Amino acid sequence: MVTPTSAQRRIRDHQSLDLLALAPAGCGKTEALALRVAGLIDRKEIRAPQRVLVTTFSNRARDNIRDRLASYLPPAVRRDRVTVVNFHGLSARIYRAHAKVIGMSPDLLIPDSDWVGEQCRSRRLSFNMISTVRDTLRIAKQNAADDTEVERLLAESDHDVVVEIEQLRRAQNRLTYDDLPRLAELILANDTVAQLYRHHFAAVIVDEFQDLTPQQLRLVNRIGYKKTTYAGDLAQGIYGFAGAEPEEIDRAVRAECGLNVIEFSESHRSSPAVLNVVNALTPRTGGTLLTSADPASWPGGGLAAHAAFSDADSEAQWVIDFTKFVLTSAPNHRVAIIARTNPRRRFVDTFMEQSGLPFHRWDDGVLDTDTARIVKAMLARFDFARYQNAEDKLAYLRQVADLEALQDPSSREALAGALNWCYDLLDEGFSLTAIRARVRIGDQNTLINVPGVHLLTGHVGKGQQFDWVVIIGAEEGCIPDFRADTQEAVLEEARVLSVMVSRARHGVLVLQPDFSDHFDLMGHG
């Protein structure tokens, strides 16, 4: 257990249930939220059987805060008094329990994959058209609209394929990720249902409030208006593509919390050198200037460096050499190789596979902690003969893993991806023992603490920290992304870069090519 800082103690001991905690990256926000939950329970401001609802935006952020809560609350208290869930998981629970309130069946298929994307690809739609389909569906569904109203809104878009996809969704009795919060909002419009949730959850914690969509904020308000702790930082608002509106949300949250605001400005994560890079971006991100809580504790003040390379192989080889040097000197360190997009990282990924270094792809579903446990258990009791005789082998894997028993949509998606991975390896001739050995996470370690090399994108790594961060692709077209065609979009790209830099503890290295004229950065060639 760590010794709380003064700001963390203020958050823990804050008497009012409504609070805005402005906490830039590395200032101890997750620890503060765990302390906040423990303080509310210890002071008996939340009395049994009422619970604290903690909302996150991903399973990995959920795992992170669960890990911190374990330092402050006994297992029985965490189980009986705290619910930690991401927004899609919360929406799915509300839908399953109360679908009949809005005249719907609770048995519609909960999403476990990007079904809309699959439909677009099956129709061979262009890249721009796929974006149009996604945006049109998202916008139509980010209001409390029933299915009839959604179809009316889509009909006005003049894109027949969007209407076709939505009609197919309904015909197949399935939901998409956009449907879950829409239906949850419709359900919570019923005062009786909303009152049930307000009574069940006596306090609400929202992690990364700047990433809320207006719809998600409305859901939070129906459950916990004036009894919600919001924590986050506008400089880390990087989900505009998903409908997040940081400035609008900030105004609404400040109006709700009034003077109940606590602001952090000391970083306990990063060296002075890393913070200098983060602070250099504040004119574009609108962030708070940060200082190191203990600058003398960082040898040499840390490291911040920039390098350019003449070709992709030289860049990738340098990354391998650097990570080998770090892990030889400090085997327990964690080195993150971060790119704005997966395609930009593909060269380093290829070299990493040949390097012999321990590495973990964060975009691989089998590395999700809970998913890995399920996959290991499935492989331990796996009947290979029945698998070989199955008419649909992937369906057999889903049945053995009991995929349908999972209610949380993000967990379903992660497990579905992991089962696809198992299927591919089995098809390539890997043994069950070999596959199980490759599931490196789930028993003792999590992605939050396992040493080695971590391959990820800026969005995926948000909320995490690493000893060293190597950012590849710091060139026009990648950062800012070539699709950033408005001033606000370009400013969000600066926030994405700030998020990537601020993952680093000891040092950050920013790499870019001198070869952009003859190198396909985005992987479209």
| SS (HEC) of 99-133 | HHHHCCCCCCECCCCCHHHHHHHHCCCCHHHHHHH
CB contact burial 255-288 (16+ within 10 A = b; e otherwise): ebbeebebebebbbbbbbbbbbbbbebbebbbbb
User: Which CATH code for domain 6-90+188-264?
Assistant: 3.40.50.300
Residue 191: which H helix or E strand, with range?
A: helix 191-200
Of the candidates 182, 198, 456, the one whose C-alpha atom is nearest the C-alpha of residue 345 is: 456
378 contacts 387 by C-beta, under 8 angstroms: no
Looking at 28-178, list the stretches that DSSP marks H as alpha helix, in order from N- to C-terminal side: 29-42, 59-69, 75-81, 87-98, 115-122, 127-141, 147-155, 160-171
Give the pLDDT score at 413: 78
Give the pLDDT score at 441: 65
Give the pLDDT score at 367: 64
Give the pLDDT score at 523: 34
d(CA 338, CA 498): 12
d(CA 398, CA 238): 34
**Is the Cα torsion angle 364, 369, 374, 375 positive or negative in sign?**
positive
Question: Cβ of 522: how many Cβ atoms within 10 Å?
Answer: 15
Q: What separation in angstroms does the CA of 474 have from each of 375, 482, 518, 521?
A: 37, 12, 16, 11
From first to last of its 525 residues, the chain has per-residue pLDDT tens of 668 888 999 999 999 999 999 999 889 899 999 999 999 999 999 888 999 999 998 777 787 899 899 999 999 999 999 999 999 999 999 999 999 999 999 999 988 778 898 898 788 889 889 999 999 999 999 999 999 999 999 999 889 999 999 999 999 999 999 999 999 999 999 999 999 999 999 999 999 999 999 999 999 999 999 999 999 998 889 988 889 998 899 999 999 999 999 999 999 899 999 999 999 999 988 888 999 999 999 999 999 999 999 888 999 999 999 999 999 999 999 999 999 988 899 899 999 989 988 888 887 657 667 888 899 889 988 999 999 999 888 889 989 999 888 877 777 878 888 888 888 789 889 898 888 877 866 555 566 678 999 999 988 888 789 999 999 988 888 888 888 888 888 889 999 999 999 999 999 999 987 754 433 333 332
Give the pLDDT score at 524: 32
d(CA 481, CA 235): 18
Residues β-bridged to residue 305:
509
513 contacts 315 by C-beta, under 8 angstroms: yes
Give the pLDDT score at 521: 34
To the question of domain 272-362+449-518 being in CATH 1.10.10.10, the answer is no
Strands 261-263 and 82-86: unpaired
Looking at 449-512, list the stretches that DSSP marks H as alpha helix, in order from N- to C-terminal side: 487-501
Give the pLDDT score at 522: 32
For residue 116, what are its two tokens?
């809309």
Angle at 496 between CA 493 and CA 500, to 5 degrees: 145
Give the pLDDT score at 419: 87
Length of the chain counted residue by residue: 525
505 contacts 495 by C-beta, under 8 angstroms: no
